[in-house]
Amino acid sequence: MNRLHALLHHRRLPDALLALSFGLMAGTLYLIFMYVPTEESMGIVQRIFYFHVPIAWVASLAFFIVFVCSIGYLATRTQGWDRVAYCAGEIGVLFTTLVLITGSLWAKPAWGTWWEWEPRLTTSLVLWLIYLAYILVRSYAADSTQGARFAAVVGIVGFIDVPIVFLAIRWWRTLHPSPVVFEGGSLTGAMRLTLMISLASFTLLFAHLLLRRVQVRRLADEVELLSQEIEEREEL
Amino acid sequence: MSGFWGKATAIVVKDVLAELRRKDVAASMLVFALLLLVVFNFAFDITAENEDLLGAGVIWATFTFAGVLGFTRSFVLEKEKDCLSGLMLCPVDRASIYAGKMIASLAFMLLVEAIALPLFAVLFDLDVFQLGMLPVVLLATVGFAAVGTLFSAVAVNSRARDIMLPLLFLPVVVPVIIAAVKSTQHILAGDPWSELWSWLEIMAAFDAVFMVISSYMFEFVTEQ
């Protein structure tokens, strides 16, 4: 446990992750654009799938981390939990934005429209709005501990809401069956390999971003403390 | 009064008494609801042909926005003269305070809905007086009040109090809005009860989940 802690706090870890995810990402790009065969019915546009799915996965992972760390913060009241929750929330919103954009880019040629009020899309949009509120509630709070508490509450309530939102939206649209991406057919070997590698490299990228962001926040908190100290000394 | 419900009832009685003297929350909600009706009438150009289709949406959009207004008022009034601190200093479990505030908000909203629904019926010639509307209105309003009470306690302590509540409240109650609109559409179209079941279930599940979670979370939101 101590070793893991030391590893996570190692100054060079984000750099190592960056190098690793950079290398893997280059390989992923090769796989997506050169290696994997073009999907028969949808053509070239289907390749965005290998970005879209890993990005969506990272967004869900980020929101799950927000949920866990929010519970951790309310239970322990240590700033570390809140810091991770905050940074994961930010990255989650960024990746959900990318999910919506890549989804729209794919939908235009595939469905003939940028947007379809389809369960997954609509749930992603609602999710995006909930976590935007998660970020805003913190910045509108009176002080940072209150902001951390409010945000933790929103992080927990929002996450629990997601399955109910998805269920409701799915039932809402049962009368208008939406195009199903891979109904019946499954991914071929090459496609599955590309997807898996892409998932791995995006997860690494996420780990890098999260650690780096947490480091920056920790430094910002330290600067805050130091400047408070200086102010107090000047007053004396 | 003792026990969880005794304390919660005391808070409901306090809120109802204050409301009877001031007639502030319910009155403003009702006038706001009426204004929304007028706006929606022009916005959607509601006529005899499309009123069955649009009616359910207009009803629930109105109730949702009126609800946002009501929840905000309920805690803003507590904030004036710092009544909220007094309430928090009471030797009362936070969950009882939540239950009391939630039931009081629920009562005001139900009252507003009970007055507004007949108005809808008259203005838009909608047949809303059906037995099916009763569980729909009740379950949806409980869901609104469960989430609205928690988030209005958050909003009232924030700097941008007026904008914070809708930002938090609206995305979270999406399932309730969907279920309420869909089941009201079925009722207005005269569909059998079996069509309503799944929607009533989803609202009941939402209500149960969020009443429990919110009463836990209320403690963290109202900490000083």
The CB-side HSE value for A118 (13 A sphere, CA atoms) comes to 16
Contacts with B164 from chain A: Cβ below 8 Å:
136-137, 140
Q: Which two tokens stand for residue A160?
A: 């629990």
Distance in Å, alpha carbon of A59 to nearest chain B alpha carbon? 18
| Burial A179-206, CB ≥16 within 10 A → b, else e | eeeeeeeeeeeebeebbebbbbbbbbbb
**Nearest residue in A to B179, CA atom:** A168
- The pLDDT value given to residue B11: 85
Q: Running DSSP on this structure, what letter comes out for residue A186? A: -
| B158·A169 Cβ contact <8 A | no
Distance in Å, alpha carbon of A172 to nearest chain B alpha carbon? 7
pLDDT in tens, chain A (236 residues): 567 677 777 778 888 888 888 899 888 888 888 888 777 677 777 888 888 989 999 999 999 999 999 999 999 998 889 999 999 999 999 999 999 999 888 888 878 888 888 778 888 899 999 999 999 998 888 888 888 999 999 999 999 998 888 888 887 775 434 444 444 446 677 888 888 889 999 999 999 999 999 999 999 989 988 998 999 998 87
- The pLDDT value given to residue B151: 94
Contacts with A150 from chain B: Cβ below 8 Å:
154, 157-158, 221
| Rounded-to-integer distance, Cα B65 and Cα B57, Å | 12
**Nearest residue in B to A73, CA atom:** B220
* Per-residue model confidence as pLDDT tens digits over B126-181: 887 888 889 999 999 999 999 999 999 999 888 888 889 999 999 999 999 999 99
Q: Full-prediction pTM beyond 0.95?
A: no
What are the φ and ψ backbone dihedral angles of A43, each rounded to 5 degrees?
75, -155
More confident residue, B195 or A19: A19
Question: What does the pLDDT average to over B98-122?
Answer: 90
Nearest to B73 by CA among B13, B39, B32, B113: B32
| Rounded-to-integer distance, Cα A168 and Cα A21, Å | 37
What are the φ and ψ backbone dihedral angles of A39, each rounded to 5 degrees?
-70, 140
How would you class A68 by CB atoms within 10 Å of its CB: exposed for 0-12, middle for 13-18, buried for 19 or more? middle
| A165·B179 Cβ contact <8 A | no
| Rounded-to-integer distance, Cα B175 and Cα B170, Å | 10
Interface test with B, best of A140, A145, A166 (most B CBs within 10 A): A140
Nearest to A135 by CA among A97, A164, A107: A97
- The pLDDT value given to residue A128: 94
More confident residue, A7 or B195: B195
| B205·A74 Cβ contact <8 A | no
| B159·A142 Cβ contact <8 A | yes
Torsion angle, alpha carbons of A212, A217, A221, A223, to 10: 60
| Rounded-to-integer distance, Cα A205 and Cα B140, Å | 42
* DSSP string covering A20-54: HHHHHHHHHHHIIIIISPPBTTTBGGGGGHHHHHH
**Nearest residue in A to B201, CA atom:** A168
Chain B residues within 8 Å of chain A (Cβ atoms):
147, 150, 154, 157-160, 164, 167-168, 170-172, 174-175, 178-179, 182, 198-199, 202, 205-206, 209-210, 213-214, 217, 220-221, 223
Nearest to B217 among A126, A153, A161 (CB): A153
Nearest to B174 among A146, A157, A168 (CB): A168
Contacts with B224 from chain A: Cβ below 8 Å:
none
> Is residue A211 within 8 Å of A21, Cβ to Cβ?
no
Mean pLDDT of chain B: 87
- Other Cβ atoms less than 10 A from the Cβ of B76: the count is 17
- The pLDDT value given to residue B119: 87
Contacts with B206 from chain A: Cβ below 8 Å:
164
Determine the number of helices (DSSP H) and then strands (DSSP E) in chain A: 7, 0
Interface test with A, best of B174, B209, B217 (most A CBs within 10 A): B174
| Rounded-to-integer distance, Cα A220 and Cα A46, Å | 42
Task: Give the contacts of A152 (CB within 8 A, at least 6 positions apart).
Answer: A70, A71, A73, A74, A82, A85, B220
| B223·A149 Cβ contact <8 A | yes
More confident residue, B63 or A119: B63
| Burial A124-157, CB ≥16 within 10 A → b, else e | bbbbbbbbbbbbbbbebbeeeebbbbbbbbbbbb
- The pLDDT value given to residue A184: 43
Bridge partner list, A43: A39
- The pLDDT value given to residue A186: 60
